[in-house]
Amino acid sequence: MSHNEFFNGMFLENGNADGGRIEVICGSMFSGKTEELIRRLRRAKFARQSVEIFKPAVDVRYSAVDVVSHDDNSIPSTPVESAQNILLLASNVQVVGIDEAQFFDNGLIDVCNQLANSGVRVIVAGLDMDYQGNPFGPMPKLMAIADDVLKVHAVCVRCGALAQFSHRLAKTDKLVLLGETDSYEPLCRSCFLKMKTEDKNGN
């Protein structure tokens, strides 16, 4: 039996495929993605559904146990090394939240489909673009297979327009500086293009 057959069997045993769906919340840094994820999960908790958040183990900004929220009604959060681990750990969860999804491997696409097909409501939040404005990790494919996609926006710190780009202030070749949200600023398209030109010219 392959891994996939094993996992398929495990979830189809649950029988009920009703309510299974994939929701994606995407946007730039400071756009409120995690807040929207927590808002939806909290409402599911009010409805007495079992809820859990998974995040990539590389994201060390928050505590290992709980996703940080603005009151004591936080949602249990589990760091996982790979997308496949979510299947193992989510067997009794009705609503699965996945935060910082852009850092997961492409296996996350199949994992989300398997969960949704077995009746789980999957809510995914992540950066849709990296600091260069390119699609980030598994996010574009997750947006393609989702039942519902919400793009949230930050506010451009240069002009006040809606912002969808995460401009990196620190000069480094690393794709993302973990734990250093101060190193980014949200920008609109025209301000982002201006800054990119300035960065290229070494200003």
Query: Which positions are annotated as active-site residues?
Result: 100
- Per CB under 5 A, the list member of 159, 169, 170, 193 interacting with Zn ion is 159
Task: Please tell me the distance from the alpha carbon of residue 68 to that of residue 175, in angstroms, as a whole number.
Answer: 24
- Per CB under 5 A, the list member of 38, 109, 188, 195 interacting with Zn ion is 188
**Interface stretch with Zn ion, choices 19-27, 75-83, 119-127, 182-190 (CB under 5 A):** 182-190
Instruction: Evaluate whether 26 touches 130 at the Cβ level (below 8 Å).
Output: no
Q: Report in angstroms how near the CB of residue 3 gets to Zn ion at its nearest.
A: 46
Length of the chain: 203
Output 17 or 159, the one with its CB closest to Zn ion: 159
Q: How far is CA 6 from the centre of its chain?
A: 26
Q: What are phi and psi of 177, to 5 degrees?
A: -90, 105
x-marked contacts with Zn ion along 97-126 as a string, rule CB under 5 A: ------------------------------
Element (H, E) at 35: helix 33-46
Binding site for Zn ion (CB under 5 A): 156, 158-159, 161, 188, 191
